[in-house]
Amino acid sequence: MAPPNCNAMALVSVPLAPGKADEALALFKDHEFGIKYTMSMKGAVQFDFGLETAEDGSETMHIFEYWHEVEDYAAYIAKRGDAELMKDWNAVFGPCLAGPPVIKWFPHRAAYTN
């Protein structure tokens, strides 16, 4: 369920290089430009990580992101696009990738829980 006052969501799908799932998750957890950095951004609320293994054995990390406003998310993505700021992150996380992440963001409309 989405946290209260979240008006924006994103689904980030990250194709992972073979055997890199544990390393990718550890980097998000421990690296200064992983989830700690993301959570420090204005409007960041909650991030859920999942790992999908396809029939061919390829792995994709999916991140469900909740933000207060779409504008907060847009500002965050602009910072992530700053190559100079992200050079240390890109150097360690890049080898974990099998291709570019796919980012879809949209307004949050409803949440249901049991």
State the CATH number of the domain containing residue 81: 3.30.70.100
Query: Would 114 be classed as within a structural domain?
Result: no
Q: Is residue 1 a part of any domain in this protein?
A: no
Q: For the chain, how many structural domains are there in total?
A: 1
**pLDDT tens, residue by residue, 76-98:** 999 998 999 999 999 999 999 99
The burial class, CB within 10 Å (0-12 / 13-18 / 19+), for 92 is middle
Confidence at 105, pLDDT banded by 50, 70, 90: confident
Q: What is the pTM of this model?
A: 0.89
Residue 94 within a domain: yes
Q: Over range 67-71, report the average pLDDT.
A: 90
Q: Residues 38-77, buried b or exposed e (16+ Cβ, 10 A)?
A: beeeebbbebeeeeeeeeeeebbbebebbbbebebbeebe
Cα dist. 58→25, 29, 61 in Å?
Answer: 16, 22, 10
